[in-house]
A and B are shown apart, each in its own frame.
Chain A
Amino acid sequence: MRRIAIASGKGGTGKTTVAVALAESLSVENDQIVLVSDCDVEAPNVHLYLNPDFDQTKEVYVLIPQVDEGICTGCGICAEVCQYNAIIILKDRPLVFPSLCHGCGSCTLNCPENAIREIPNTIGNLERGIGNKNIYLRHGLLNPGEPLTVPVISALRKWNDSLSPQLEIIDSPPGASCPVVEAIRGVDFLILVTEPTPFGLHDLKQAHQVANELGIRTGVIINRDGLGEADIQGYCRDNSIPMLMTIPLDQKIGAGLARGDTLLDIYPEYKDKFKALYEEVGQVIEEALDL
């Protein structure tokens, strides 16, 4: 199976638009099973375009400590070993802050009295189903108010599936920190979607550096070409990043996407463009395998 992720650095540059267009271009006609994993679990939007019937769900939880006060001696080792300040000792008794707990299990392992057991604390859930044009979709939803994004992304990517897709397309969250790393780790190729503004260029560099740290090959799509004057092409040239596609600033596209149409609904000719893009990406992946 091939895995291609879409990231951007800056939010709102068109990651989801590209993920959906790529999936649509490759699914039906090529008789491929295409799975889209929407890893933007804080603000997932792919389902708004693919309208799936979610028929499977799963809770995501973090194991948090529960202290048996009858056994606890108040020694404070649990609070000492916790790196996230999720346990404090108050009047010789440990007090747990569930939303700070990363579920690492260190307190449980290190309690000399075995006074801690772990209980699940739900922080989000996963859903999957089949959407338009036979595209499989799965996504994660972080519960509002919960800070830990990474475990939801991690659970989504590990969700075992009887399905064996030929292609998985991962829609990454914006930014350049740990949620992006969790979303794109181990993919064969990363498409960076940007816009030609100073913000777009600044954040493209950040996202590109994440890919470099992880050793992932990248290519760039410029979206809303004409919006600004930032020299995206120059950055790509200087860093030997292939330019994969340019999508112009076009009111018709903006309005169509706003109402839930896909890029291929608006301009069907993008289907061939994305098929060609996938060929090009495939060659880069093959070349990498040969090395």
Chain B
Amino acid sequence: MTQLVILSGKGGTGKTNLSAAFAHLYHQNNPDPKAILVDADVDAANLALLLEAKELTSNPFIGGAIARIDPVLCNGCGRCQEICRYDAVSSQDEKYLIDSIACEGCAACYYQCPENAIELEEQQAGEWFISETSYGKFFHAHLYPAQENSGKLVALIKSRAQEELENSQANLMIVDGPPGIGCPVISAVSGANIVLVVTEPTLAGLHDLGRVLETTMHFEVQVEVCINKADLYPEGAQQIREYCKEKGIDILGEIPFDLAVPRAMNQGHPVTKFDPQSPSSQAITGIWEKLMTVVNQYSTGKELIQIN
């Protein structure tokens, strides 16, 4: 069983288009068992738009709790305001009020209030779904705008997907990761075997590639890189090749800029399904074949352990 996570550092380099194409290519070559699919970018979740996902179940996501002051019990001592490190408590004429957006749900005020006037109210911060797609079972979520705990929601859907992986015939989990390097990325990488970083030949792409590679060093994962829109700025692509060579990382392939990608997106399909002959589809197929040899190494390893 293998967990493959697609990351980028910089946003908009093509994680979701690539994840959808991989889901399609895997299914095309291995009709059964299907892969398990996860969209771990829970505050800008777009993979569903390319998979014709049919929702099977929808579940509430309870994030952290938010503190609330009972104005009847509050004696106006101000202890809550004094100890809150998130500037979430405001006061006017000895009336204290908690800003629910600033509140981190740490509960320090709840425990410190001498009148027990503070309650913690659990908040539904989003929803998570299991959907059916032609390419396999799909775990995804919608974090409500302005909410916290995206890392917790990523961890939740990934653990459900992992259960499915263990309890079904499936051998592969494909995770479309979030941008950046912070808490949802760390949740997405936890438990992964292989990380594929998709970068682009821009100064920003290279800069953020470095930061995402540094992040993956904290995990025991195999890291691979591919370059999207590689012909946009050839010198930039060359810089990425040199940078990766220095780091001892292979580049699995390079995808040219290709308007077939946005066209496929507009039609709601993976580009490899929408236009298999397009230059981008051809390049993605080449990358996928190389990636599958890496994936198979992990699968074989697992089977050997099971036999012994």
B44/A174 in contact, CB under 8 A:
yes
Docked complex Cα distance between A174 and B10 (Å): 9
The residue in A42, A106, A185 that gathers the most chain B C-beta atoms within 10 A of its C-beta is A42
- Could you tell me if B235 and A147 are in contact, using CB atoms closer than 8 angstroms? no
The minimal Cβ–Cβ distance linking A60 to chain B, given in whole angstroms, is: 13
Q: Closest residue to B179 on the A side, CB-wise?
A: A11
Query: What 1/0 flags go to A23-47 for Cβ under 8 Å of B?
Result: 0000000000000000010110100
Interface pair B179/A43, CB less than 8 Å apart = yes
A216 to chain B, nearest CB (A): 11
Q: Are A10 and B265 in contact (CB under 8 A)?
A: no
Give min CB distance, B67 to chain A, whole Å. 10
Known A177-B43, A198-B46; contact A148-B236, beta-carbon cutoff 8 A: no
Asked if B95 CB lies within 8 Å of chain A CBs, one says no
Nearest chain A residue, comparing its CB with the CB of B42: A177
**Chain A residue, CB-CB nearest to B100:** A213
Given contacts A10-B46, A149-B180, contact A43 B12 (CB under 8 A): no
Q: CB-nearest residue of chain A relative to B259?
A: A227
Q: Which of A161-169, A238-246, A254-262, A283-291 contacts B (4 or more CB under 8 A)?
A: A254-262
**A-binding segment of B27-35, B160-168, B203-211, B242-250:** B203-211
- Partner of A258 from the list B8, B44, B65, B203 (CB cut-off 8 Å) is B203
Does A247 reach chain B (CB closer than 8 Å)?
no
Contact residues in B for A251 (Cβ distance below 8 Å): 232
Task: Report if A156 contacts B (CB, 8 A).
Answer: no
Size category, B interface: 35 or more
Alpha-carbon distance A84/B208, docked complex (angstroms): 28
In the complex, are the beta carbons of B182 and A179 less than 8 A apart? yes
Report Cα–Cα, A11/B180, bound state, in Å.
9
Q: CA separation between A193 and B11, bound complex, in Å?
A: 13
Partner of A197 from B179, B183, B265 at Cβ < 8 Å: B265
Q: Which of A48, A83, A199 contacts B107 (CB 8 A)?
A: A83
Q: Are A144 and B83 in contact (CB under 8 A)?
A: no
Closest to B180 in A: A42
A12, A175, A178: the one within 8 Å of B10 (CB): A12
Q: Are B232 and A145 neighbours in the complex by a CB distance under 8 Å?
A: no
Q: When the two chains form their complex, are residues B44 and A206 in contact, meaning their CB atoms are under 8 A apart?
A: yes
B106: A residues at CB distance < 8 A: 83-84, 102, 104, 106
Q: Hey, which chain B residues are within 8 Å of A79, CB to CB? A: none
**Interface 1/0 per residue, B1-36 and A, CB below 8 Å:** 000000011111100100000000000000000000
A177 B182 Cβ-Cβ under 8 A: no
Least Cβ–Cβ distance between B68 and chain A, in angstroms: 15
Task: From B10, B42, B182, give the contact of A147 (CB < 8 A).
Answer: B182
Q: Is B147 touching A198 in the complex (CB atoms < 8 A)?
A: no
Q: Is the CB of B262 within 8 A of A181?
A: no
A81 touches B180 (CB 8 A): no
A34-73 interface with B by 8 A CB criterion: 40, 42-43, 45, 48
CB interface residues, B 113-152, toward A, < 8 Å: 143, 145-151
Q: Other CB < 8 Å A-B pairs besides A11-B12, A198-B46, 12 of them?
A: A11-B179, A16-B204, A43-B11, A43-B208, A43-B211, A102-B106, A144-B211, A147-B151, A149-B183, A177-B42, A180-B43, A258-B205
Please give the residue numbers on chain A whose beta carbons come within 8 Å of chain B beta carbons, in ascending order: 9-13, 16, 40, 42-43, 45, 48, 81, 83-84, 102-106, 109-110, 142, 144-149, 173-181, 185, 197-199, 202-203, 206-207, 209-210, 213-214, 227-230, 251, 254-255, 257-260
Residue pairs across A and B with Cβ atoms less than 8 A apart, 8 shown, are A83-B65, A106-B112, A181-B101, A199-B49, A210-B145, A257-B202, A258-B232, A260-B203
In the A-B complex, the 6 residue pairs with the smallest Cβ-Cβ separation, listed nearest first, are A11-B11, A12-B12, A42-B180, A104-B106, A258-B233, A147-B183
Q: Which residues of B contact A (CB under 8 A)?
A: 8-13, 16, 41-44, 46, 49, 64-65, 83, 85-86, 101-102, 104-108, 111-112, 143, 145-151, 178-183, 185-186, 200-205, 207-208, 211-212, 214-215, 217-218, 229, 232-233, 235-236, 257, 259, 262, 265-266, 268
